[in-house]
A and B are shown apart, each in its own frame.
Chain A
Amino acid sequence: MINMPKRKLDPLPAAAFQILLALADGDLHGYAIMRQVEEQSAGRVRLGPGTLYSSIQALVEEGLIEEVEPGGKPESVHERRRYYRLTSNGRKLARSEAEKLADLLRVARAKNILRGEYV
């Protein structure tokens, strides 16, 4: 059973879920997260700076992602960026959310709402 704390991200907003998915492959900074989200959603989801950083802050406060020191050398003093990493709770929550969506997809497929190529 997943130990999910009571939080303001319940239900998980789409932007927050996209950020969790974007961080599933590794640590990223804000701009990279934005590009990753755009890429993984085939351009359907584009996060602006306000939505991106307010969602990041909410995820940090909920302990779903955490700020980490950048591994490489920063590009410049003025372009120092924060990097974020998915926590174990964040990964569990992302998995749980994905399973919910998968269940919905199964229902939709059973009702012939979706064609087979989506799942």
Chain B
Amino acid sequence: MSERIYAFLLHLYPARFRERYKEEAVQLYRDLYRHRTGLLPRARLWVGLLADLAFGLPQAYRNTYVSPAPAPFAQGAQGMPMFRLLERQPVRSESFLLASALTLMTLGALSVLLSHPTVYRAEDVSDVSKSPIESVLERLNQPASTAQPGNESQRVSDSFPSNGQKTEVRKEITAQPQQTPTAARNGINPSDRYKVPESVVKNPEANPRTRQQSGKAPVAMPQYATQGGYLTAADGTVVNAHTTLVQRWAIQPPPIEIQRATVIAFGPPATRAEVTDADASDSQFDLDRLRQTLDKAGIAFLVVRAHSFRIRLGSETSVFHPKSDVGYYLIAPGKKPLIEYGAITDSDLLRAAKSYFASLGQHGYSGSTIAIPGNH
């Protein structure tokens, strides 16, 4: 019985040790046990064996159990990296099962982590603490000075009205966005990245919620649907920043390139749960009205739904982090931007725009061309 216990304790030693010395160790134990008669001597023997276990185990695990005769190729090759066999026995099937289960669990956890929606926050260009991936992505998204294939920068054409005459506002995308591998894996069509949801643009006049219902003046900040869950856009300019981690890598929003007077309405990213089709249609209605008014005055109007966004003015790119969730960013080349925080009415916004852009005479623009509703 005691011999079996000792043999069981030998399992604490490395397999290579047992393979080589188990029989001898058990034989030695048998000899020791045979020469000790009486309860006390055998108890002492076991105390000694337990102490021996404590002292012998570390040394047993330090041993390599390789033959002292070196292989021919290893002779005289001190310092050369060599593989060291820890176990001579083949891997058991249980180990494969355990490894498979652990691998699946790890992959599952990684998948859940990557598919979990995260809020995108654009990094400050001047922030040197950006990760290498973010730096590379930012460089890749930097537009070139001239339109080149693959340049994803949104460019607002510099088509100011001259002499107060109305000129059609034109907005163009300089090139089709390229399909990135990650975007392809996620089924993101690059041409859809800035598309307006069909439910939004189908019939803007059919606004299910009129302002008369609430009795309040309309709020110009629209609510946007997040069709597809990754990116929504209105008039090719809206970026919804509620994306998964994978999608965030795949769709780095390009900077907004300012080439003429522009009004940017900004708001927080909206989730699918927050926005319904009715809300989107309602917002689109207000948005289109505001855009039409500004378009007539030669002012571009963009809507961005993100916690921050990048502005490219000439060769300089800056990141705007709003202090409030909702507001308007008015900017023109050569002019310090004006920021109006809060949800204001269309009329208030147009008044602010009229005042801000009034001094842009050198561009042939006169703020007086802005038609403010109710000011006739």
- Chain A residues at the B interface, C-beta cutoff of 8 Å: 8, 13, 29-31, 34, 46-58, 60-63, 66, 78-79, 81-82
Contacts and interface: CB of A to CB of B under 8 A. Distances in A.
B52 interface: yes
Contact of B57 (A50, A62, A66): A50
Interface in B54-94: 55-57, 59-60, 62-66, 68
B interface bracket (residues with beta carbon within 8 Å of A): 20 to 34
A58 B61 CA distance: 10
A8 B68 contact: no
- The winner among B27, B55, B59 for most chain A CB atoms within 10 A is B59
A60 B13 CA distance: 18
- The winner among A49, A51, A58 for most chain B CB atoms within 10 A is A49
B17 A54 contact: yes
A61 B65 CA distance: 7
Contacts of A30: 24, 28
A61 B68 contact: yes
B264 interface: no
21 contacts: A30-B28, A31-B27, A31-B28, A34-B28, A46-B48, A48-B53, A48-B56, A49-B24, A49-B29, A51-B56, A53-B24, A53-B56, A54-B13, A54-B17, A54-B59, A61-B68, A62-B68, A63-B68, A79-B27, A81-B27, A82-B24
Nearest to A8: B62
Given A31-B27, A62-B68, A81-B27, A49 B52 contact: yes
Contacts of A79: 27
Given A30-B28, A31-B28, A53 B21 contact: yes
B68 to A, nearest CB: 5
A56 B31 CA distance: 19
B28 A58 contact: no
B20 A57 contact: yes
B290 interface: no
Contacts of B319: none
B358 interface: no
Closest 9 CB pairs of A and B: A48-B52, A50-B56, A54-B60, A54-B59, A49-B25, A53-B21, A51-B56, A50-B52, A57-B63
Contact of A60 (B28, B53, B68): B68
Nearest to A5: B78
B24 A48 contact: no
Contact of B55 (A34, A50, A53, A82): A50
A15 to B, nearest CB: 8
Contacts of B25: 49-50, 53
A58 B77 CA distance: 21
